[in-house]
Amino acid sequence: MSLALLTGRVEALVPGTYTAEAQGMMGPVPVTVTVTDREITMISVGPNRETPGVGAVAAPMTASRMVEEQSTAVDLVSGATLTSRAVVAAVEKALTAAGEDPKAWRRTVPIPTEIRKETRTVDLVVVGAGSAGMIAAVAAREAGLSVLVLEKADFSGGASGVCTGAFLVPDSHVQRELGILDDTPEKFERDLLTWGGASTDPVTVKLYSENAGLAVDWLIAHGVRFDTQSGLVRPQGSETPRELTLRGGCPEYAQRLRTLTGESGAEILTGTKVEGLRIENGRVAGVTAKNGRRGVEYEVSARAVLLATGGYGANRATIEEAVAASIDKNGKHPNEELLSAALYGGVVSADGDGLVLGAEAGAARDLGNAATVRWDGLEVLPGTGASLKRANQAVLPLGSILVNREGERVVNEAGPDDAILAAQHRAGGSLFLVMDEGAFGSFAAALKGRGLTRETLDGWIRANEAKTAPSNAESTISEEGASNGVAGSVATATAPTATEAAPAVSESAFAPLIVRGTTLEEAARRAGVDPETLAETAARYNGFVLNGKDDDFGRPASAMTSPLSLSGLVYILEEKPRYATTQGGLIANGRLQAITPEGAPIEGLWVAGEVARGALGQAAVPGTNLGWAATSGLTAGAVIADTLKREAAKNTAAVTTGGANAASGADTADTEAPSAPANSVKLPESEPLPVTGPTPASALDRHDANPAEGPSARDAALDGSR
C-alpha cells in the first residue's frame, strides 16, 4: 500500500523521473528516482566515489530498502552510515522536486514485534566476516567442518575492503618468481621483532613468520591476484624486498574472499550481531546472536568459536584505555600523545566487541601496544582520515616541501616516518604539504583508495574558496549538515507534464584544508600559513635543490630533483596524524587459542586477525596487517579442524576400547595424527598441520608476455623446484 493511502494524504506526486545528489563520504552521490502519483517505483544510484566494497555497496542497498518500505526512514546500512544518509538525502530532494514534502515520506518502518528464535548446530562459528574470518571459514570447510559466519555489518569484508592493498609476501612462491630467492622465515621473524619492539610476542611472531609464505601461496592458489608488474618493494627498516600490492586493491581482494566463502559452503549471516558466548562446563560451546531487522534471535551450538571481530579503533573510550596502558607499559612517546587526537581511518564496525566477548570467557587481553599513528592523514570528514602515503611518495622528489604553520621546514621530508611524526608533534599536530602545479598533478594521480581523485581534491578546493568569497559571507554550516556529512545537492526532473525542478539547496559540506593560489603568498594566506616566512623557506629550499645538498635537514638529492616552481599555481594541503588499525587485543597461545590471565587455554575459543594481540607489537609496517590477518585466519582454520578431529578420534577410541582397556588395565592413548604434507601450517607448540590447496603454478601477471617465446630460464628453473 502506498504511503499516501496509509497516511490519508490527498496530495500526489507528479509522476516522472527525478535526479538529485547529496554529499557522501567521498563526494556527491547521485540518484535517479521514478515515481507514480502515489509511490516510489524505482531508485537507482549513479556513479560515485564512495569507498569500493563499503559505501559503494551500501548505496544501492539503502535505495532498495526505501523502495521496499516506501519510506525514507529506513535503517541505515551498518558500516556505511554516511553513504546511506547521502542516498536518503538525495532521494528526499528528488521527492521535493516531484512536488511532495519529504517529511511525509519519513514513515517509521515497523520493527518486527515478534522475535523468531532459530537454533543452529555447527562445528565452527566464526564471529566476523573480515579477511581473517573468511579465510578461516574456507580453510575449515576444506578440512570438512560445517561453518557458520556471523557478521554484524550489513556486508562482509571488514577492514580488508578499505585497506591500501600492501601485502607482505615473505618466503612465498611469488616472491621467488620475482627474483628474491634468499628470504627466509628467520629473516622475516627478525624484522617483525625489530619493528614491533619489546611488546612483540615471540610465540605468535614465530607462527606468523613461519606461515606467511604459505598463506600467500594459498591465497594465489585460490584466485587472489597480486600486481607483479609493479614489482616488490622493500619495507622500511628491512633489507629484503617483500612488499607486493594486491591487484585490483583491497576491494577486489575482499570480493574474492566473499566469493570463496560462498563457494566453500560456509553460511554467512550479515546484519547479525553476536550478543554473547554460550559457555557450558567451562567450555565455549557456541554463541547467541540477533538480527533486529529480520526479527530473529539465534542460538548457535558449536564445537569451536573463532573471534575474528577486528580491532577497536572506532571506540574512542577503548582507545583512551589503550593509550593509558601503552604509556604505562612503554613510557611516553609521540605516538601515544598524538593518538588521542588522531584521525581514524578504519572501518566503523571496529568497536572492540571481540574484547567484550572474550572477557565473558575469562580471556586475557593486553592493550599496551595501542595503535600506530602515521603522519599522513587527510581529514575527509570531522575526525575521519584517509591515507596520503602513496601520494606523498609520488610527489616527494618533485617540487614539494613540508612546513609548519609558521612556514618553516621542520624535517627531512624523505626521512623515516617516525621522524616526520615527531616533527608533526612538535609543530602542534599538523604539517602542510606545499606543492607546485606539476607536483600537485603527480600527487593527485597517485591517490588510491577511499575514492580520492583529482576531481575530489578540486571540489574541496572550490568549496574552500567559496567559504572565503565575499558572496558567501552569510553562508553557514547547518548542524545537521556538519554531523551527517549531508552537503549541497541539485535536483532536476523529467516528467510527462511540465514541472519546474526544485531549487538547489545551498548547504555547506565539510572540506579538508586544501587550497591553491596564483602565488605562493596567496596560497599561504588561504591556508593560514605565514606567507613571508614561507616565501623565504621556499627560496632557501630551491637553493638546496640547485646545489644538490640540503644543509638544513639532509634531504637526499635523489628526493629533490625539482625546485618548487613559483611561476604557476601553488597548492597547500594540511596533513594530520591518523591511525587505522589497533595492535592490542586478546592474548593467544601458539595455536591461536585464547588464554586466561594465568596462561591456561580456554577450551573452544580461538582468535585471529586484529583482535589477537601479539604478532605485530607496536609495528604497523605496510602489509603486516593484511598478512597477519590472512596467516592467522588460515592457521586458525587448520588448527581448529585438527583439534576437533583429534577430539572426535579420542572420544571414538575411548568408547570403542574403553571396555577392553578397563579389562586389561591398558592406558588409552591419543590417536596418532597423520604425517603432514610439505605445504602445511607450522605451529610453535606442535607438529605441522595440513592445509588444503595446491601450490600456485605461477603468480606472475602474464598479460604482456608473448606465449610463443615459451617460459624463461628462471621460470623453467622454478617449475623444476615445485
* pLDDT tens track for 334-368: 667 788 889 998 888 899 999 999 999 999 998 87
Percentage of residues of the chain with pLDDT beyond 90: 55
3-state SS, residue 356: helix
Kindly list the distances between the CA atom of residue 21 and the CA atoms of 31, 97, 157, 454, 467, in Å, as whole numbers in the listed order: 6, 12, 27, 20, 21
Question: pLDDT tens across 566-597, in order?
Answer: 889 999 999 999 998 888 899 999 999 999 99
Cα separation, 602 vs 70, in Å, equals: 48
The pLDDT, as a whole number, for residue 341 is 86
| pLDDT for 371 beyond 90 | no
Question: pLDDT tens across 465-493, in order?
Answer: 988 654 433 333 233 333 333 333 344 44
The pLDDT of 179-201, averaged and rounded, is 90
Give the model's confidence band at 2: pLDDT under 50 very low, under 70 low, under 90 confident, else very high.
very low
The pLDDT, as a whole number, for residue 8 is 42
Strand 273-280 and strand 28-35: pairing?
Answer: unpaired
Question: pLDDT tens across 71-113, in order?
Answer: 998 888 877 888 899 999 999 999 999 988 888 888 887 777 7
Tell the burial category of 676 from Cβ atoms under 10 Å away from its Cβ (0-12, 13-18, 19+): middle
| pLDDT for 604 beyond 80 | yes
Cα separation, 545 vs 540, in Å, equals: 9
Closest CA to 25 of 87, 78, 73, 75: 87
| pLDDT for 708 beyond 80 | no
The pLDDT, as a whole number, for residue 700 is 61
| pLDDT for 44 beyond 60 | yes
Q: Under 8 Å CB-to-CB from 722, ≥6 apart: which residues?
A: 173, 695, 697
Question: pLDDT tens across 106-134, in order?
Answer: 888 777 778 899 999 999 999 999 999 99
| pLDDT for 155 beyond 60 | yes
Kindly list the distances between the CA atom of residue 447 and the CA atoms of 199, 347, 433, 442, 652, in Å, as whole numbers in the listed order: 33, 19, 15, 9, 58
The pLDDT, as a whole number, for residue 328 is 76
The pLDDT of 410-418, averaged and rounded, is 93
| pLDDT for 175 beyond 50 | yes
Comparison of pLDDT for 207 and 657, the residue scoring more: 207
Cα separation, 479 vs 176, in Å, equals: 56
The pLDDT, as a whole number, for residue 661 is 55
Give the model's confidence band at 303: pLDDT under 50 very low, under 70 low, under 90 confident, else very high.
very high
Which value, in Å, is the radius of gyration of the alpha carbons in the chain? 28
The pLDDT, as a whole number, for residue 403 is 98
Comparison of pLDDT for 158 and 659, the residue scoring more: 158
The pLDDT, as a whole number, for residue 378 is 95
Contacts 24+ apart (CB under 8 A), 412-417: 412/550, 412/553, 412/554, 412/555, 413/553, 413/555, 413/559, 414/555, 414/556, 414/559, 415/553, 415/554, 415/555, 416/236, 417/236, 417/374, 417/375
Q: Note whether 95 and 501 are within 8 A (CB).
A: no
Domains of the chain plus CATH, in order, are 3-105 (3.90.1010.20), 116-372+581-642 (3.50.50.60), 379-469+507-576 (3.90.700.10)
Question: pLDDT tens across 373-385, in order?
Answer: 899 999 988 998 9
Q: Per the confidence metrics, is the pTM higher than 0.95?
A: no
| pLDDT for 660 beyond 80 | no
Question: pLDDT tens across 223-252, in order?
Answer: 999 999 989 999 888 889 999 999 988 888
Q: Note whether 251 and 259 are within 8 A (CB).
A: no
Of 456-465, 576-585, 642-651, 664-673, which range is least confident?
664-673
Give the model's confidence band at 697: pLDDT under 50 very low, under 70 low, under 90 confident, else very high.
low
The pLDDT of 386-411, averaged and rounded, is 92
Q: Under 8 Å CB-to-CB from 294, ≥6 apart: which residues?
A: 112, 271
| pLDDT for 655 beyond 90 | no
The pLDDT of 633-653, averaged and rounded, is 92
